[in-house]
Amino acid sequence: MSDFRRIDDAGDLTGKTALVRVDFNVPMADGKVSDDTRLRSALPTVEALRAKGAKVVLLAHFGRPKGQIVPEMSLKPIAAAFADVLDAPVHFAENCGFGPKAKAFVTSRAPRDVILMENTRFEAGEEKNDPALAEAMSALGDLFVNDAFSAAHRAHASTEGVTHFIPAYAGKAMETELDALEKALGTPERPVMAVVGGAKVSTKIDLLKNLVSKVDMLAIGGGMANTFLAAKGVDVGKSLCEHDLADTALTIMKNAEESGCEILLPLDVAVSTEFKAHAPDHRVCKVGEVSADEMILDAGPHTVTVLTEAMDKAKTLVWNGPLGAFELEPFDTATVAAARAAAERTKAGKLIAVAGGGDTVAALNHAGVAADFTFVSTAGGAFLEWMEGKPLPGVEALKA
């Protein structure tokens, strides 16, 4: 991943216009941006381009209008919010579309001005990666900068199509993400440990198959661990379990053995007959001692000890998914303890720790350690597809 073009490679951009794909799909409340994290993440790229003398034209989507103009999905309020973050005017290209009117609007702006185009997904050809739309978009700029890793797994007009018409570069946020991912699985320091949790094996089959060929230790937690335990003949009671995927689990374990990857499954678990916080009958037991009316809701303390000992051997850690039902106390115990152990080792310079995925970010924030990891990706689907070893169209287009 290190062989991609960066903004620094673009040279002097005086008199040029940079077309920049950003992730402005931000949470809104009462018509206003309620969390400006994604807006702030675009700042380094926008400021770097302006410092080089470029006019900046921002492309972004918001919601899922599916090629229709949906007024409540307009980016207009986001333009005002980004102006506050940037501390400079942001010109909003209202009702311009992508054509001569949009070109005239962009041309009329001064060097170093910042322009936000209307929601790219108002265009029917955006998600279809329509070449005509991509060409119309590219006509607004002299170069393209992709700063939205979260949308890089989609071959859309504004992420991949435009790169067929003008030179493409990675933005600063994209650059940081790709460099972190390269350290995690591209050319990592070994041994490499992966922690994968979540509810179902079925949603992460490709991920698990890829990881057993890439990492030295793979810890499996959450509901998906139950499927692996059941496949080994362990009675998991009434736990969430995909019994029909037993053969898949056995194949993954066989492939891991052949690849020299050690699989770490729970040895003890926290169980209850009820899926609720502070269930009165919750207890910790060995994995073979789960009663027929109990469900596994978290990994136990011995399992956490084994995981932390594995972290002591590792140089690199990749984390996706919680180890239990972390939203419900006390079934957040294993996730919090393991996350804090990883954070301690990362802060001490003993571990490169990269994490990503929606539940993962929430779990690390819950444990209070997200800021202590080497890198935490908020990209969701793109992060997962990268972990699965799949090429990301928006990234492939940036390769030198």
DSSP H stretches of helix in 140-245: 172-181, 205-211, 222-231
Show which residues are catalytic. Answer: 38, 200, 358, 381
User: Which residues make beta-bridge pairs with 59?
Assistant: 21
Q: Do 145 and 373 contact (CB within 8 A), yes or no? A: no
Give the residue carrying structure tokens 């850690």.
317
Contact partners, residue 208, CB within 8 Å, separation at least 6? 196, 201, 218, 220, 252
Q: How far, in Å, CA of 162 to CA of 133, rounded?
A: 9
Are 344 and 212 within 8 A, CB to CB?
no
- The one-letter amino acid code at 236 reads V
E-assigned strand segments in 142-255: 143-146, 168-170, 192-196, 217-220
Q: Is residue 289 within 8 Å of residue 237, measured between CB atoms? A: no
